[in-house]
Amino acid sequence: MSQMKRSTTFVIISVIAAVMLLAAGYLAFRSIFPVATLTEISKMSPDRQHMATLVTREAGFDVNVVLEIDGATVYVSPDFVAPATADFQEHLMWDRGGTVVLLEVAGKRLFGYDVRHRRPLTASELSIVPLSSFDDLRFTR
């Protein structure tokens, strides 16, 4: 076997070994820090045309919330480093017109999405979205 063939064979074997080690390391990491779905909240728009789904996932050291509209991911939060046992108090809310969905975590509006125009809201828009009042819900005793 020529020097060139031995060298090529060595490189191929090294690459295969490296891939196998990476795969084993990933599997070990996932067994120690599994990805877990903590909560899933779904809310249909008032006009019944759109479905918003909020999934809270723990992945090792952090927690993320993922917002999907009609099955498409529109938002993934930055990492929350609070323990997964903390109550994140996630809320999904549609505006009065049923065209904007808001994501709120622990009382703070994090994200809004306009389903009619298929775009995220700006920070200034996020703070002024009108929500249904208690009177709009027609609660009776």
Segment 78-93, tens digit of pLDDT = 887 766 666 778 889 9
Which pLDDT tens digits describe the chain residue by residue (141 residues)?
A: 567 777 788 778 887 877 787 766 655 555 555 567 677 889 998 888 999 999 988 776 678 889 999 999 999 988 877 666 667 788 899 998 889 999 998 888 999 999 999 999 999 999 899 887 777 767 776
pLDDT tens track for 92-115: 999 988 899 999 988 889 999 999
Domain boundaries, the chain: 1-32, 35-137
Q: Are 52 and 92 in contact (CB under 8 A)?
A: yes
> Residue 49: which of 130, 134, 116 has the closest Cα?
116
